[in-house]
Chains A and B, each alone.
Chain A
């Protein structure tokens, strides 16, 4: 009996020592434990933007895969993904639910500029990371005023400036027509374009036309833009409207140099509906490989993605570019978790998110890397121009930082 209790005592002391040792290493904020990391996400599963809900479904599938493989440092990722119907008041309510009621460690990839604008201040006041927001607005990379908010994809203004630079380099006397969606995204990209053109903007841009997402077609806008005599068209439209515009431009026999924004660069969801023959010559910037593009068919990263989709999200379509997008963002987050180790505090999450160095992802184009720093809250800033040859996107020029 005596040896027994001695053994017990030893085990007990050992256990205490171990616990205190690991306690010294492990630091947690609400949402993180030894076995689980609980995070939240706000997605438009219902309402007018429900197409984007696919991103949330992909995240859930990807974290399922991570958990099946044993999680990260033994911790399972639990994603609470809630619906805001693309309505800013609902987004506020959902953010409060996730932070105050469910006590998540942070909010990941909340979608849409209006919804994120609504919770921007709240998240920073609460000092809860508002990480990798799913919108390309430029305002998300402002570590000085909003140290808890970070975007992910290249911002719209950068993209606009790249088009401007290319136009100035290739045809300095271009007559530019712009079609853009009448909201924050369209206006942000247009601003980048104008900034890039500098004082020539007023002279070079000969026509602008907007559309609303409720418009059935953009035929009238394209006819007007053609009538302006422009020889360059900048197409700042979401997939459906981009496809409508590409088709109409071809059908009315207009042959401008046609820049298509990255949002709609998907072969499967834009160029196929528009007609591949009608898409020849389109120029866009890209940072990701297109799942339907044959040049990546044997790419190891792409194969991995296709295998993942087949196993974890069998009803998701490869043609939907949102899947590849969600996949890459989820992988970036996993990297942040790995860097965090056992220090899962909110402050450390932001610290690690802001110290990604030359991080590469399987679906990013060769040469495109993720870099962040305490003063640089724009993870992806490099892009490359590419032109559609009727079958696939052909990269040209150098990676633009």
Chain B
């Protein structure tokens, strides 16, 4: 029983990692209707920026805030400079640009910061909460941060006119333009916000998995799966999807099929869910118009 609780709790912590990156994917999807494959690498790179500031002696929260701001600017600049010129020519051309960005960020990080893993500080206490042996304080803290980001995102899309405009611009750019939304700028803003959310995810993930250029390589697939299984148009669903994937993977690996095939089986289950419920567990079913 003790081991079972430990598996579930450590699954929740890993799930929190997937959830936080999944939120960044939801953000960019809401703003552009694309999934950015470079999102994870961008987050990793921003985390290195945070590491550089911390290394230079900045206090944690100052570096935290500065990184979010830098990430936002970075996202806006990438959209304006790289994505916009390709624009609406072809979705696949944009996907190739994403792949280009992915390898550029990965390679630059390795070149500038080397491939040696670096410990990344946590803002939470080093001692486990209540002296438990299951989860570190950082694990719990990171889940808390993810939930706060989730609440903020939800409120942004639900209650602010900017959030609504962004969703409208992504869903139907032509109509959005007709009602006076500046679609170009909502997209750039979406990129900026997604990069900011991603940088928070990076800074919460790095203390758990260590900072290295390949930090996000494995996580991105799970986050992608989590976002889709929960419903990519629903931040709550994406987070729930993240926790679900994390726990499911641990339990499968520990009790059902062993560690060798856990990734494979987890993926088969996820794809199976999507085949039965194509818009995800918590996603909205859309009806196609002729």
Chain A residues with a Cβ under 8 A of chain B:
46, 48, 50-51, 53-54, 182, 209-217, 219-221, 223-224, 226-227, 239-240, 243-244, 251-253, 268-270, 272-273, 275, 317, 319-320
Contacts and interface: CB of A to CB of B under 8 A. Distances in A.
Given A210-B260, A215-B218, A239-B116, 20 more contacts: A48-B217, A50-B107, A51-B212, A54-B115, A213-B218, A214-B221, A217-B208, A220-B7, A220-B259, A226-B6, A243-B210, A251-B133, A252-B133, A252-B134, A269-B116, A269-B117, A270-B117, A273-B210, A275-B119, A319-B116
22 contacts: A46-B107, A50-B107, A53-B115, A54-B114, A182-B259, A211-B259, A214-B221, A216-B14, A216-B209, A217-B209, A219-B13, A220-B7, A220-B11, A221-B253, A223-B10, A223-B254, A224-B3, A224-B7, A252-B134, A273-B119, A317-B114, A317-B116
B259 A223 contact: no
B141 interface: no
Contacts of B263: 212, 214-215
Contacts of B118: 273
Contacts of A272: 119
A251 B114 contact: no
A226 B205 CA distance: 24
Contact of B3 (A221, A227, A253, A275): A227
Contact of B115 (A50, A215, A217, A227): A50
A214 B216 CA distance: 9
B14 A219 contact: yes
B173 interface: no
Contacts of A252: 6, 133-134
Contact of B7 (A214, A223, A239, A243): A223
B186 interface: no
Contact of A216 (B116, B119, B218, B253): B218
B interface, over-half SS: helix
Contact of A48 (B107, B209, B214): B214
Contacts of A317: 114, 116
- The residue in A46, A51, A320 that gathers the most chain B C-beta atoms within 10 A of its C-beta is A51
A54 B114 CA distance: 9
Which range contains the number of B residues in contact with the other chain?
35 or more
Q: Which 6 pairs show the lowest CB-CB distances between chains A and B?
A: A51-B115, A227-B3, A214-B218, A219-B10, A220-B250, A273-B119
Contact of A209 (B214, B221, B259): B259
A236 to B, nearest CB: 13
B219 interface: yes
B123 interface: no
B133 to A, nearest CB: 5
A309 to B, nearest CB: 13
B17 interface: yes
Interface in B107-135: 107, 110, 114-119, 128, 133-134
B131 to A, nearest CB: 10
A64 to B, nearest CB: 19
B254 A220 contact: yes
Nearest to A321: B116
Given A51-B116, A223-B254, A252-B6, A216 B222 contact: yes
Contacts of B103: 46
A240 B259 contact: no
Contacts of B212: 51, 240
Contacts of B260: 182, 210
Contacts of A54: 114-115
Interface in B13-59: 13-14, 17
Contacts of A53: 115
Interface string B219-244: 10110000000000000000000000
Contacts of A239: 116-117
- The residue in A240, A268, A270, A320 that gathers the most chain B C-beta atoms within 10 A of its C-beta is A240
Contact of B116 (A46, A223, A268, A275): A268
Contacts of A210: 258-260
B110 A50 contact: yes
Interface string B246-282: 0001100110001110010000000000000000000
B67 interface: no
Contacts of A51: 110, 115-116, 212
B199 interface: no
Contact of B136 (A50, A220, A251, A273): A251
A243 B14 CA distance: 17
Interface in B62-78: none
Given A219-B13, A223-B7, A252-B134, A243 B259 contact: no
A219 B138 CA distance: 14
Contact of B14 (A214, A217, A226, A253): A217
Contacts of A243: 117, 210
A216 B246 CA distance: 10
A53 B10 CA distance: 33
B10 A220 contact: yes
- The residue in A209, A210, A211, A220 that gathers the most chain B C-beta atoms within 10 A of its C-beta is A220
Contacts of A268: 116
Contacts of B134: 252
Contacts of A213: 218
A324 B23 CA distance: 42
A182 B218 CA distance: 15
B275 to A, nearest CB: 24
B162 to A, nearest CB: 33
A243 B116 CA distance: 12
Given A224-B7, A240-B210, A243-B210, A216 B259 contact: no
A309 B217 CA distance: 31
A275 B122 CA distance: 14
- The residue in A46, A210, A219 that gathers the most chain B C-beta atoms within 10 A of its C-beta is A219
Contacts of A224: 3, 7, 253-254, 259
Nearest to A52: B115
Nearest to A253: B133
